[in-house]
């Protein structure tokens, strides 16, 4: 693993979190930016099969895929993606509603 690229991904992820989520970890708060692309995205929430898919779940999949690809292709972009994804997973799991999949918009 190229540590400096992994750390770059972590730093970029922290900047993203502070800019879009802020420093408060309140569940069920309205996002700063509202995106609506029915039926997949409703008020900046990803909805699949009438269930809310949290960002930590998406980045867990991205982290696993980048780990597999990193095994075959040692590329610095994959290290950045891993660092970014890991911080997003930790951030998402720090919410109280991390396992609440009900849709209440």
- The answer to whether residue 43 sits within a structural domain is no
> What mean pLDDT do residues 75-101 have?
91
- The answer to whether residue 35 sits within a structural domain is no
User: Is pLDDT at 6 greater than 60 in this prediction?
Assistant: yes
CA distance 14 to 3: 16
- The answer to whether residue 68 sits within a structural domain is yes
Of 62, 48, 39, 90, which Cα lies nearest the Cα of 98? Answer: 90
- Please, are residues 78 and 66 in contact by the beta-carbon 8 Å criterion? yes
- The answer to whether residue 31 sits within a structural domain is no
Q: What are the angstrom distances between the C-alpha of 85 and each of 6, 19, 79, 90? A: 10, 16, 10, 9
User: Is pLDDT at 28 greater than 60 in this prediction?
Assistant: no
Q: Is 99 helix (H, G, I), strand (E, B) or coil?
A: coil
Q: What is the model's pLDDT at position 39?
A: 84
Mean pLDDT computed over every residue of the chain? 86
- The answer to whether residue 71 sits within a structural domain is yes
Instruction: Answer whether 0.85 is exceeded by the pTM.
Output: no
Q: Of all residues in the chain, what percent carry a pLDDT higher than 70?
A: 87
Return the structure tokens found at 16.
């993203």
Query: Which segments of the chain does DSSP mark as H helices, in order?
Result: 3-20, 55-72, 76-93
Q: What is the model's pLDDT at position 45?
A: 81
Q: Is 37 helix (H, G, I), strand (E, B) or coil?
A: strand
CA distance 78 to 48: 27
Structural domain count, the chain: 1
Residue 1, domain extent: 1-23+53-100
């Amino acid at each position: 693993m190229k540590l400096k690229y992994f750390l770059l991904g972590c730093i970029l992820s922290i900047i993203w979190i502070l800019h879009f989520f802020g420093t408060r970890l309140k569940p069920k708060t309205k996002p700063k930016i509202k995106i609506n692309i029915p039926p997949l995205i409703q008020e900046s929430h990803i909805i699949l099969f009438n269930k809310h898919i949290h960002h930590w779940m998406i980045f867990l999949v991205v982290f696993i895929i980048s780990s597999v690809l990193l095994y075959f292709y040692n590329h610095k972009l994959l290290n950045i993606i891993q660092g970014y994804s890991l911080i997003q997973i930790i951030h998402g799991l720090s919410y109280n509603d991390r396992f609440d999949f009900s849709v209440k918009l």
